[in-house]
Amino acid sequence: MSEPIHVAVLMGGWSNERPVSLMSGNGVADALEKVGYKVSRVDMDRNVAQVLAGLRPDVVFNALHGVPGEDGSVQGMLDLMGIKYTHSGMVTSVIAIDKELTKQRLVPAGIPMPKGTIVESESLYAGDPLPRPYVLKPVNEGSSVGVAIVKADGNYGNPISRDAIGPWQEFDTLLAEPFIKGRELTVAVLGGKPLCVTELKPKSGFYDFDAKYTDGLTEHVCPAEIPQDIADYMMELAQRAHELLGCKGASRTDFRWDDELGRDGVFVLETNTQPGMTPLSLVPEQAKQMGISYEQLVDILVKEALA
């Protein structure tokens, strides 16, 4: 009887997405144990390289979210250590977490994205960078962390007040984009193939960090009730984004769709290289819709990392 494959599940860390990563990681670890892997759960701290060197796993399952698990840092460390790992590599991670670099890769290849501009947060107190309504978001944080929609009648003030709570208090530079009205949709890509389209219907008006990870705050319509040609177009764009960015394992591409404009109303917002793997998460849900159980999903990701 050969030794079971040893998987270290890397989770936790110190980003503001730590609680979600712990949920993802423990869900993944439980599923891998059911499938028959030997599993070590690693709550990442600054000694993570020593911990992994001591464990000597065959492969790392990266269940981290946010920085440094999603921005290329952990990927570079694992590359140096010669340890295989799930999901995307270092260069892809560096590009995909940065919304501006992502645009530079995708837009010239014909992927429709909102026209954005980088602004100094300090400049917002003097005046708006774009006509309202517009969106302000950090250039590289995941999970709708720190996103603000600035509307004509909003309560941030006009111009934005220094005292107003928003991402301008946390970040020196922000990405400003026109607000695209319409519907929020997402497509997961697994093993290079798009799964299906989910529509996200937040009960509070915006799919933010809390809505994403709190049961009942967002209704997921999977598969989305949209025309087949729009669904096919979104799946094609998600697959192309996955390929253009060089993603591996699972990725998830988020869209806005102004349904009054048909195909011309479809915009890619971002591609997430470390999509959530909690029981509520969109990738497991789309996999299930396609007949792939949670256990099969984590097994596919580990096998792809080892291949």
d(CA 197, CA 200): 10
- Is 270 catalytic? The answer is yes
**Looking at 141, 208, 254, 299, which residue is catalytic?**
254
**Looking at 15, 26, 62, 143, which residue is catalytic?**
143
- Is 177 catalytic? The answer is no
**Looking at 27, 142, 249, 276, which residue is catalytic?**
276
- Is 254 catalytic? The answer is yes
**Looking at 15, 88, 272, 281, which residue is catalytic?**
272
Burial, 13: exposed, middle or buried (Cβ in 10 Å; 0-12, 13-18, 19+)? buried
Secondary structure class of 48 (helix, strand, coil): helix
**Looking at 13, 15, 17, 199, which residue is catalytic?**
17
Distance of CA 73 to the CA centre of its chain: 16
- Is 252 catalytic? The answer is yes
Which H or E element spans position 11? strand 6-12
DSSP 3: P
Question: Can you list the pairs that 146-154 forms with residues at least 24 positions away whose Cβ atoms lie under 8 Å?
Answer: 146/170, 146/171, 147/206, 147/208, 149/179, 149/206, 151/179
- Is 204 catalytic? The answer is no
Beta bridge partners of 61: 9
**Looking at 252, 256, 281, 299, which residue is catalytic?**
252
How distant, in Å, are the alpha carbons of 59, 62, 64, 89, 90 from that of 78?
Answer: 10, 10, 13, 10, 9
Burial, 138: exposed, middle or buried (Cβ in 10 Å; 0-12, 13-18, 19+)? middle
- Is 17 catalytic? The answer is yes
**Looking at 37, 85, 156, 213, which residue is catalytic?**
213
Residue positions annotated with a catalytic role: 17, 143, 213, 252, 254, 270, 272, 276
